[in-house]
């Protein structure tokens, strides 16, 4: 796999010149500590100088293999050529007018692209925002106005953001919710088909979890009170969990039968990440609304709610929006990112990354008992670490230690999961095949060193 679009000329090779962090990063970290809120934590204590393709270069000249894409954002790599060109051109024209004051074409073009790319051939409309959490909040607003109902159903292990409503929608307490309540009302959480941890086995997880979820909604909330069911078709922060087969179709059918707006939160899983434009396509789901962000704009802050025109049009004029939503530079970047995804066929590249990673990780799981599960699709892959394969007791200590060992060797991996025991890989889709393999070599060595 060659690197077709790497952005700035960052050599596509790992290079470790100093300890991680190096002296310049340490200096900057000292300055950070004195002026940046401690709650703004960092995965790695190295400061970036430039990035492109599959490499992040730090201020000490170390080059790290990027297996995290800045939290799943840089699907097209950092500073992809079409993104830089289009956003620079736009910045030279104007940076902002507020779409709700004097609109501009870029916003409309992004909404046209979203209508075209998202599943379903019904009439679709979009509204643009700045962050994923903002998109999810606005999906709830649209669903509530459209249905005249209030309740929102979400799932165990789900993650939807850190604003007040989205904290309520998010499952995990630490670090996302702890101490920040009270949370928004009318949010109900139901079971998820988490195959690896389903008591009667992964093959039963889909139908059994769907039956439990539907039963809980029916008994505890009442379907006619539910405005929206919101689910990530492939859960990210919860631990890269693919809901077991049958679960999503059952929930989507239940929503349709009961006049509930079915919302797919594709903020992490969308835009080629899983080898399809949207992860919900895997089981042929056509959501009523889709929320997107992250990969949509090549690193610029942009988010969207896209869906059935009648739902998106239900709110009164001025009811949705904000000062910066759909900023013209972010829209230009999105058009560049989408152009790159199509031209480079990044769906095929995501599948290629899966074809490299899954067999190698599976082989590691055969050798190292600490790996309880290997899962994910496309370039959204993870290993779940356990203390004991029989009990599946989570092993967050091993995840932290392995990630730290990888970081020291220059492979940027992320730890996630409800139990903090999942190492996830979200490489940019333009990364070179050899860098993916080298990252896996580093992980393998770190596992070996634990033996
Ligand atoms: N929804 C999902 C599925 C996410 O993965 C995230 C971020 O990780 C969000 C919502 C929140 O997005 P943001 O951090 O842009 O607010």
Q: What is the CATH number of the domain that holds 157?
A: 3.40.640.10
Q: What is the CATH number of the domain that holds 398?
A: 3.90.1150.10
Torsion sign (Cα): 27, 29, 32, 38:
negative
Would you give the DSSP letter of residue 194? B
- Mind giving me the DSSP string for 137-150? HHHHHHHHHHHS--
| 179 and 305 share one domain | yes
Peptide bond into 175 cis (omega under 30): yes
Examine the pLDDT at 308 and tell me if it is beyond 80: yes
| Cβ atoms 265, 155 nearer than 8 A | no
| 366 and 318 share one domain | no
User: Number of helices and strands (H, E) in the chain?
Assistant: 13, 16
User: Residue 256 corresponds to which tokens in the numbers above?
Assistant: 């349709």
Would you give the DSSP letter of residue 40? S
Give me Rg for the CA atoms of the chain: 21
Q: Element (H or E) spanning 410, and its range?
A: none
Query: Whose alpha carbon is nearest atom 10 of ligand 1?
Result: 160
| 332 and 189 share one domain | yes
Q: Residue 261: how many CB atoms within 10 A of its CB?
A: 27
Q: Is 10 left (phi over 0), alpha (psi -120 to 50) or beta?
A: beta
* Pocket probe mutation, ligand 1, options 132, 291, 330, max atoms within 8 Å of Cβ: 132
Which distant-in-sequence residues (6+ apart) come within 8 Å of 45 by Cβ? 20, 21, 25, 26, 29
Examine the pLDDT at 55 and tell me if it is beyond 80: yes
Q: How far is the CA of 388 from the centre of ligand 1 (A)?
A: 31
| 99 and 172 share one domain | yes
Summarize pLDDT for 400-420 with one digit per residue, the tens: 999 999 999 999 999 999 999
Q: CA–CA separation, 282 vs 154, rounded Å?
A: 20
Closest by alpha carbon to 142, among 126, 166, 158, 155? Answer: 126
| 88 and 31 share one domain | no
**Mean pLDDT taken over the chain:** 97
| 64 and 142 share one domain | no
- β-pairing, 48-52 with 414-416? unpaired
Q: Say yes or no: CB of residue 265 within 6 Å of ligand 1.
A: yes
Of 308, 343, 378, the domain-final residue: 343
- Mind giving me the DSSP string for 311-337? HHT-SPTTSS--SSTT-HHHHHHHHHH
Which atom of ligand 1 sits closest to the CA of residue 71?
A: 8
Q: How far is the CA of 203 from the centre of ligand 1 (A)?
A: 29
Q: Say yes or no: CB of residue 160 within 6 Å of ligand 1.
A: yes
Q: Say yes or no: CB of residue 295 within 6 Å of ligand 1.
A: no
Provide the domain limits for residue 193: 82-343
| 315 and 387 share one domain | no
Q: Say yes or no: CB of residue 68 within 6 Å of ligand 1.
A: no
Q: How far is the CA of 134 from the centre of ligand 1 (A)?
A: 9
| 62 and 95 share one domain | no
| Cβ atoms 264, 278 nearer than 8 A | yes
Starting from the edge strand earliest in sequence, which strands make up the sheet with 48-52, in order? 48-52, 55-58, 63-66, 411-412
Distance, C-alpha 38 to centroid of its chain: 24
Residue 126 pairs with which residues in a beta bridge?
A: 306
Q: How far is the CA of 160 from the centre of ligand 1 (A)?
A: 5
User: Residue 444 corresponds to which tokens in the numbers above?
Assistant: 């393998």
Summarize pLDDT for 68-122 with one digit per residue, the tens: 999 999 999 998 999 999 999 999 999 999 999 999 999 999 999 999 999 999 9
Name residue, tokens 């051939």. Answer: 121
Summarize pLDDT for 134-157 with one digit per residue, the tens: 999 999 999 999 999 999 999 999
| 71 and 91 share one domain | no
Examine the pLDDT at 2 and tell me if it is beyond 60: no
Query: Residue range 186-214: average pLDDT?
Result: 98
Question: pLDDT band for position 8 (50/70/90)?
Answer: low
Distance, C-alpha 209 to centroid of its chain: 23
Of 310, 343, 376, the domain-final residue: 343
User: Residue 426 corresponds to which tokens in the numbers above?
Assistant: 């979200």
Summarize pLDDT for 321-351 with one digit per residue, the tens: 999 999 999 999 999 999 999 999 999 999 9
Which distant-in-sequence residues (6+ apart) come within 8 Å of 408 by Cβ? 19, 20
Burial of 366 (0-12, 13-18, 19+ CB in 10 A): exposed
| Cβ atoms 438, 62 nearer than 8 A | no
- Mind giving me the DSSP string for 359-380? HHHHHHHHH-TTEEEEEEETTE
Q: How far is the CA of 67 from the centre of ligand 1 (A)?
A: 18
Which atom of ligand 1 sits closest to the CA of residue 133?
A: 16
| 89 and 57 share one domain | no
Percent of the chain having pLDDT more than 70?
Answer: 98
Examine the pLDDT at 3 and tell me if it is beyond 70: no
Q: CA–CA separation, 378 vs 129, rounded Å?
A: 27
| Cβ atoms 154, 165 nearer than 8 A | no
| 303 and 213 share one domain | yes
Q: Say yes or no: CB of residue 231 within 6 Å of ligand 1.
A: no
Of 313, 343, 373, the domain-final residue: 343
Query: Whose alpha carbon is nearest atom 13 of ligand 1?
Result: 132
| 328 and 234 share one domain | yes
For position 4, what pLDDT does the model report?
45
Q: Say yes or no: CB of residue 267 within 6 Å of ligand 1.
A: yes
Backbone angles phi, psi at 321, to 5 degrees: 140, -155
Q: How far is the CA of 291 from the centre of ligand 1 (A)?
A: 10
Q: How far is the CA of 161 from the centre of ligand 1 (A)?
A: 5
- β-pairing, 303-308 with 371-377? unpaired
Closest by alpha carbon to 377, among 442, 439, 342, 429? Answer: 429
| Cβ atoms 44, 412 nearer than 8 A | yes
Number of domains, the chain: 2
- Mind giving me the DSSP string for 266-305? -TTTTTTTTSSSSGGGGGT---SEEEE-GGGGTTS--EEE
């Amino acid at each position: 796999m060659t690197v077709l679009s790497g952005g700035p000329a960052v050599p596509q090779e790992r290079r470790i010149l100093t300890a991680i962090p190096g002296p310049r990063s340490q200096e900057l970290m000292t300055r950070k500590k004195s002026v940046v809120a401690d709650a703004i934590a960092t995965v790695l204590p190295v400061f970036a100088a430039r990035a492109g393709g599959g490499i992040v270069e730090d201020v000490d000249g170390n080059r790290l293999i990027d297996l995290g894409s800045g939290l799943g954002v840089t699907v097209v790599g950092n500073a992809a050529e079409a993104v830089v060109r289009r956003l620079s051109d736009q910045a030279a024209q104007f940076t902002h007018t507020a779409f709700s004051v004097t609109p501009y074409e870029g916003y409309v073009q992004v909404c046209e692209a979203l209508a075209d790319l998202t599943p379903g051939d019904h009439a679709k409309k979009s509204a643009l925002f700045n962050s994923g959490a903002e998109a999810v909040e606005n999906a709830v607003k649209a669903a509530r106005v459209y249905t005249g109902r209030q309740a929102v159903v979400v799932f165990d292990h789900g993650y939807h953001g850190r604003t007040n409503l989205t904290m309520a929608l998010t499952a995990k307490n630490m670090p996302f919710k702890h101490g920040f309540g009270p949370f928004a009302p009318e949010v109900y959480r139901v079971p998820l088909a988490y195959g690896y941890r389903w008591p009667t086995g992964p093959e039963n997880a889909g139908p059994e979890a769907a039956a439990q979820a539907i039963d809980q909604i029916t008994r505890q909330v009442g379907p006619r009170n539910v405005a929206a069911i919101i689910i990530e078709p492939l859960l990210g922060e919860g631990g890269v969990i693919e809901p077991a087969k049958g679960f999503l179709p059952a929930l989507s059918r239940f929503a349709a039968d009961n006049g509930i707006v079915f919302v797919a939160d594709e903020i992490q899983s969308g835009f080629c990440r899983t080898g399809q434009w949207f992860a919900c396509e895997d089981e042929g789901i056509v959501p009523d609304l889709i929320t997107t962000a992250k990969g949509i704009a090549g690193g610029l802050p942009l988010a969207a709610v896209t869906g059935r025109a009648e739902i998106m049009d239900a709110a009164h004029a001025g009811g949705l929006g904000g000062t910066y939503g759909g900023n013209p530079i972010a829209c230009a970047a999105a058009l560049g990112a989408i152009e790159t995804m199509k031209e480079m066929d990044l769906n095929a590249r995501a599948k290629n990354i899966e074809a490299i990673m899954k067999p190698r990780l599976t082989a590691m799981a055969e050798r190292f008992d600490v790996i309880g599960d290997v899962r994910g699709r496309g370039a959204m892959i993870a290993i779940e670490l356990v203390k004991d394969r029989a009990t599946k007791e989570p092993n967050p200590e091993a995840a932290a230690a392995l990630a730290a060992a990888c970081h020291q060797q220059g492979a940027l991996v992320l730890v996630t999961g409800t139990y903090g025991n999942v190492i996830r890989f979200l490489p940019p889709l333009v990364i070179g095949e050899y860098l993916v393999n080298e990252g896996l070599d580093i992980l393998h060595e770190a596992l070996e060193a634990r033996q």
